Amino acid sequence: MDSDEALRVLITGGAGFIGHHLALYLQSLGHDVIIYDSLERASQYGIKRIMEAGIPLIKEDIGDKDSLKKAFNEFCVNRLVHAAAYINVAESMKNPELYFENNTVKSFTVFKSAAECGVKHAIYISSAAVYGEPRYLPIDEKHPTEPLSPYGLSKLLGEYMVKFVSRVHSMPVAVMRLFNVYGPGQTGTYAGVISKFIERVARGEPPIIFGDGKQTRDFIHVMDVCRAIKLALEAKAEGVFNVATGRSVSVKRLAEIIIREAGLNLSPVYAPRRPGDIKYSLADISRIKKALGFTPKISVEEGIKELIGKALGKEPGH
């Protein structure tokens, strides 16, 4: 980071699950943060927390070039984190065009507007969904990209869009491919498996496992994701980075941990495997470790313990 330059970061999707945690985290480190979000799919939890923290919020769509440029100029923004996207895989299967428009075409608009307004570095929040069915494990950044859903494809095409803008406008860009993110405030129909299991267990209901439960995922706590993004911002990192823990856990094991932590006597319920679900996922995080010194700090057991505490009212929510 240039020592005399304060970070003035605009976060698109900053009222969503990951974006609002990032906004609060960067603010707590003394950086200036502006949120740009249509609120169309924001969580009440996120909105409440950013309001309480007094973070400026621009309620506009990322497809609106004029509003974007006004925001970049008025707030003298010098950094961008683009996290706004639609994230529902099933919805993307039914309406792919919506996803290509919102996640791909509008990403181009965001990055081009940023470059034209003199933003000095930008981060595109991408997804492990760009890889598709793993050809080998652990998945490094050179792994083939063959997404299985329009959502994954929309994120991959977004990567091409922002890399193009980066080249043409000489604006350095980091692409951060997030694996399975979990943490407080992840709600709604497309919440991750951890939140879904906890919601059920908190109601005294058993978790529902699709398939045999032996499928594995690389789960990363949202605060570790925030730390990774902060390191990339401060280093003005360029290139593609996996953001994960480099450890995987099976869905069956997750259910066991959650039931144990809740102190309940429940057994998971098994349902048929969902078509399109990949069997194993695990990231190779050597690149982000080496380039940015990133190491995840929160184990899945610790993360779950915290969430169970909140869900069962054992701890104050944050």
Minimum CB separation of residue 299 from ligand NAD in Å reads: 17
Does 40 bind ligand NAD (CB under 6 A)? Our answer is: yes
Does 155 bind ligand NAD (CB under 6 A)? Our answer is: yes
The nearer residue to ligand NAD, 7 or 125, going by C-beta atoms, is 125
- Confirm if 213 and 255 have CB atoms less than 8 A apart: yes
| Stretch touching ligand NAD by CB under 6 A, among 2-10, 17-25, 73-81, 227-235 | 17-25
The correct pick among 180, 245, 248, 281 for binding ligand NAD (CB under 6 A) is 180
Does 19 bind ligand NAD (CB under 6 A)? Our answer is: yes
Does 13 bind ligand NAD (CB under 6 A)? Our answer is: yes
Does 81 bind ligand NAD (CB under 6 A)? Our answer is: no
The correct pick among 9, 87, 161, 255 for binding ligand NAD (CB under 6 A) is 87
| Residues paired with residue 79 on neighbouring β-strands, in sequence order | 9, 121
Q: Whose CB is nearest to ligand NAD? A: 16
The dihedral sign for the CA sequence 128, 297, 37, 33: negative
Three-state SS for 212-224 is CCCCEECEEEHHH
The 10 Å Cβ neighbour count of residue 272 is 7
* Runs of H (alpha helix) within 238-299: 251-262, 286-292
The nearer residue to ligand NAD, 84 or 283, going by C-beta atoms, is 84
Pairing assessment for the beta strands 8-12 and 79-82 based on DSSP bridges: parallel
| Secondary structure of residue 18 in the 3-state scheme | helix
Here's the x/- map for ligand NAD, 274-293, by CB under 6 A: it reads as --------------------
Minimum CB separation of residue 241 from ligand NAD in Å reads: 13
Catalytic site residues?
A: 151
Residue 154: which of 83, 105, 90 has the closest Cα? 105
| Stretch touching ligand NAD by CB under 6 A, among 37-45, 137-145, 203-211, 277-285 | 37-45
* Runs of H (alpha helix) within the chain: 17-28, 44-52, 65-74, 89-94, 96-99, 106-116, 150-169, 193-202, 222-235, 251-262, 286-292, 300-311
Does 130 bind ligand NAD (CB under 6 A)? Our answer is: no
Exposure string for 214-238, b = 16+ CB within 10 A, e = fewer: ebbbbbbbbbbbbbbbbbbbeebbe
Minimum CB separation of residue 60 from ligand NAD in Å reads: 7
Minimum CB separation of residue 213 from ligand NAD in Å reads: 19
Minimum CB separation of residue 96 from ligand NAD in Å reads: 15
* Two structure tokens written together for 305: 């313990």
* Two structure tokens written together for 86: 């639609």
Task: Write out the residues near ligand NAD by the rule CB under 6 A.
Answer: 13, 15-19, 37-42, 61-63, 83-87, 102, 106, 125, 127, 155, 178, 180-181, 192
